[in-house]
Amino acid sequence: MSKESANKTPHEFDFDIAVIGSGPGGYECAIRASQLGYKTCIIEKEQTLGGVCLNWGCIPTKSLLKNAEVIHTLKDAEEFGIKLNGFEIDFTKVIRRSRKVATKMAKGVEFLMKKNKIEVKKGYGKLKSAHEIEISYEKDGSSEVVSSQHIILATGTKARSIPSVPVDRERIITSYEAMVLKEKPESLTVIGAGAIGMEFAYFYNAVGTKVTVVELMPQILPNEDEEIATTLAKELKKQGIEILTDAQVQKAEAVENGVKTTVKLKDGSEKELQSDYALVAIGLTGNVENLGLEEVGVETERGFIKVDEFGRTNVEGVYAIGDVAGGILLAHKASVEGINCVEKIAGLSPEPLDPMSIPACTYCQPSVAHLGMTEKQALEKGYEIKVGKFPFMASGKATASGHNEGMVKLIFDKKYGELLGAHIIGYEATEMIAELGMAKKLEATSEWIHKTVHAHPTFSEAVKEAAAAADGEAINI
């Protein structure tokens, strides 16, 4: 800390709270700070607010996935009695729509900053001390130092890479480039079968690209319940996606007009994949470089900033929330952490975020959503469990909608009926998981869930039926 800054009282700082990074965690954190009466600023190195989520992640990818869903609906139109004389996909327009959606949402964040009287500084923020930030402005090459009583880092993550797969952003690409390709590739190798990998695999397969997915682990979506992941793999293979699990990428190299990827299969043999592009989706690492962390003494661990349950780092006055702080890397988790962090600073009593209550979603079709433990995890922790399942093929609404693939799978503690884990694969999975999040928050038992009246016909009836199945009381299966 500079001598001048060290001698300031809290009221002499330029700001009470300064947030570096304007993704969902950062901008919601800033809004809550303003609501609580703090003089707040937000610092963003890009010219648009919203971070990766609004500009290059959650929002534009969902636009692309909606296109994929529409394409599948058109392909199945005859099943609904609608005859089409073919249709064409304007790939450029698909990408353009995605960008328009992202731009609109980013402008919405700009509006929220003005509404909440939050000062926005569009420059690169770097810690100069525990209470000072040096901001560099690329536009004119100038810089300034601002002081803040509290500094919250919300700088997010970037794509992880490995030496055997050198990303050149031309042929070996990340999700950023995959969102703005100028023309539809004829073939694509997706390296990594987490949520990002599977969403892009689904989208590109829908627009007519030959897609091969390579995953090191025994199943796609390694963090999902095994039964759910197996069901998704089966459905995506039906759609034409080739999936290689227990497969290790030995190397990927850009060649003339494409990429050659060498994969070692489970039986020890090697397979060579030729494709127009290879998408690297093997995980994320925190944006911790060039933030001044080392100079100020902020501790990091495995590429992420070390924090306590309310985002406090080892340096007083410096906090970190969201993806850069590690843990579950999801936008909604970042938002809750940001709000909790500010409320703790304000002397309120926010509840620490329970990782078991955080829903995780994959937005391909069928979509996947879960919270809490998998069946395997519950058994490993020593719980005696009861499991209830209900397939969407037995759902009237799902059958009428033409989306009867998948199931709801609920895991309860046998002794007390506590909901330990909820897993859904199906057309409305990402919307339905919220009911189960509420149930877990309120410590609802299996009986409470299936005794709650659900409207008929709805997809959510499957939740009721799965809970009833766990108690041996299912009616419709």
104 known ligand binder? no
Is 125 annotated for ligand binding? yes
Among residues 56, 72, 361, 65, the alpha carbon closest in space to that of 203 is found at: 65
Task: Report residue 112 as tokens.
Answer: 């929220």
Q: Is 197 annotated as a binding residue?
A: yes
Q: Give SS3 for 19.
A: strand
Taken in order 298, 301, 305, 307, the sign of the CA dihedral is negative
Classify residue 289 as exposed, middle or buried by CB count within 10 Å of its CB (0-12, 13-18, 19+). Answer: exposed
pLDDT attached to residue 3: 34
Say which CATH superfamily domain 172-282 falls into.
FAD/NAD(P)-binding domain (3.50.50.60)
- The total of other beta-carbon atoms located within 10 Å of residue 179's CB is 21
CA 443, CA 416: separation in Å to the nearest integer? 10
As given in the structure block, the two tokens for residue 391 are 């397939």
Q: Is 171 helix (H, G, I), strand (E, B) or coil?
A: coil
pLDDT at 9: 52
Task: Name the nearest CA neighbour of 392 among 314, 297, 458.
Answer: 458
Q: Is 33 annotated to bind ligand?
A: no
Helix, strand, coil abundance in the chain, percent, nearest 5: 35, 25, 40
Q: Is 194 annotated as a binding residue?
A: yes
Task: Answer whether 3-159+285-355 and 172-282 agree in fold.
Answer: yes
Report residue 385 CA to chain centroid gap.
29
Architecture of domain 3-159+285-355: 3-Layer(bba) Sandwich (3.50)
Token readout for 129 is 């001390």
Report domain extents, the chain. Answer: 3-159+285-355, 172-282, 366-470
CB atoms inside a 10 Å sphere around CB 310: 17
SS3 74: helix
Selected from 3.30.390.30, 3.50.4.10, 1.10.357.10, 3.90.1150.10, the CATH number assigned to the domain covering 366-470 reads 3.30.390.30
Clarify whether 423 is annotated catalytic. Answer: no
pLDDT (tens place) for every residue of the chain, 477 residues total: 333 444 445 568 999 999 999 999 999 999 999 999 999 999 999 999 999 999 988 999 999 999 999 999 999 999 999 999 989 999 999 999 999 999 999 999 999 999 999 999 999 999 999 999 999 999 889 999 999 999 999 999 999 988 999 999 999 999 999 999 999 999 999 999 999 999 999 999 999 999 999 999 999 999 999 999 999 999 999 999 999 999 999 999 999 889 999 999 999 999 999 999 999 999 999 999 999 999 999 999 999 999 999 999 999 999 999 999 999 999 999 999 999 999 999 999 999 999 999 999 999 999 999 999 999 999 999 999 999 999 999 999 999 999 999 999 999 999 999 999 999 999 999 999 999 999 999 999 999 999 999 999 999 999 999 999 999 999 998
The alpha carbons of the chain give a radius of gyration, in whole angstroms, of 24
